[in-house]
Amino acid sequence: MKRLLLAGAVAAIAATALLAGGTLRHEDGAAAPSSRQLVRLGLRELDAARRNGEPAHYTRAERALSQASAAEPNDVEALIGLASLANTRHRFREGLALARRVQGLSPDTALVYGVIGDSLVELGRYDEAFRNFDRLGELKPGLTAYSRISYARELLGYTDGAIAAMQLAVDSAGDAGEPSAWARTQLGKLYFSQGRTTEAARQYRRALVAYPGYVHALDALAHVEAARGRFAKAIRLERRAVQQTPLPQFVGALGDLYRASGQPAAARAQYRLVGVLDRLFVANGVATDLELALFNVDHGVRLRESLDRARRAQRERPSIEADGVLAWALARNGRCGQALRFSKRALRLGTRDAPKFFHRGMIERCLGHELEAKRWFRRAVRTNPNFSLVWAPLAREALS
């Protein structure tokens, strides 16, 4: 759940769906929702899930979109909605199959190439994914295309190019509203990932001007304040994000802030809440193995169980992200020879990712390769000295 790639896509689908209307009638004469109304309802539920973090919206979105698709099996908007929903639930094979149906029905529908590309990225099929992002850009340049192109460049290690493409996304979004806030937050995260906290903070604050109270900007700004050692301010910002939208990643970040500021009991309470929220997402059809495995491995929780989760996730979505989580889970379980193989896979695209560099350093240290370990720790710290509240201090200490 690192880049929120579907946020712009869902908004675009919703805007399209609102143009349609009409009703059907049951045999008894009572008015029933038309397929158009069901599509609108399903997309509103998807948008609500994105805005407030309530996973029950996914179940309601699925019900409405599935009913619409049953009534009109070749309804492109319903199928794109279902494909986007599948991706949002981390069911990327299902999302790809649905999006391919749309491509067959309507090959000039631009948005479908973004959804296909999103699925393919998570399935580790990068060349094909990037071709689909390029096709989206050809058919409909704008926020949804530029943000995906930015992500592709980031994965390939072309950070300056990624920033340039995301700036185009910002320009396409305009000066106000949630699309602007989303794009600026993503631009800020690119800056932050490369240790450029001043530029990151500027984008997060501009996001909050464009869309006051935007939770993803609040969360991101909390990370900047923590990097600056301002833990009280960071905690206030993260609390606001959690109170508005209790996503597991926000709750986990709040726990880390409490721990870093010397409040272990408060940290443990937040960490327990991550598990509660995870079960709610699972109950509403979201596959969370990868995200929960990473959280647990980072925090030393149920390491053997988390390794099993990481293995399952890597089989289902063999991306560099899943390779990286599995490498880290193997290392934390003392299986460092196996971990090295997956760490190499996680870095195969040339991504400049400080956590992956740090994990590689820990694996090399586990294998007794101290000089190589320091080389990777140095790369992690040079890329982003504040890549993790939990682990960045250890990387810096190893180099002192």
User: Which pair of structure tokens corresponds to residue 185?
Assistant: 């937050």
Which SS3 state, helix, strand or coil, does residue 341 take?
helix
CB-CB neighbours of 175 under 10 Å: 10
What local confidence, expressed as pLDDT, does residue 30 receive?
A: 45
- Reply yes or no on whether the pLDDT at 8 is more than 70: no
| Interatomic CA distance for residues 86 and 10, integer angstroms | 12
Closest among 276, 232, 229, 270 to 252, alpha carbons compared: 270
Domains of the chain: 1-22+32-140 (1.25.40.10), 288-400 (1.25.40.10)
Whole-angstrom CA distances from 248 to 347, 359, 399 are 26, 22, 32
| Residue 33's pLDDT band (cuts 50, 70, 90) | confident
| Residue 35's pLDDT band (cuts 50, 70, 90) | confident
- Reply yes or no on whether the pLDDT at 75 is more than 70: yes
CB-CB neighbours of 75 under 10 Å: 22
Tens of pLDDT along 227-260?
A: 999 999 999 999 999 999 999 999 999 999 999 9
Q: What is the DSSP letter of 97?
A: H
Mean pLDDT of 175-196: 95
- What share of the chain in percent tops pLDDT 90? 88
- Reply yes or no on whether the pLDDT at 297 is more than 50: yes
Tens of pLDDT along 43-73?
A: 999 988 887 778 999 999 999 999 999 999 9
CB-CB neighbours of 350 under 10 Å: 10
Q: What is the per-residue burial (b if ≥16 Cβ within 10 Å, else e) of 219-239?
A: bbbbbbbbbeeebeebbebbe
Tens of pLDDT along 303-343?
A: 999 999 999 999 999 999 999 999 999 999 999 999 999 99
Mean pLDDT of 371-383: 98
| Residue 89's pLDDT band (cuts 50, 70, 90) | very high
Render 133-193 in DSSP notation, one character per residue: HHHHHHH--SHHHHHHHHHHHHHTT-HHHHHHHHHHHHHHH-SSSHHHHHHHHHHHHHHHH
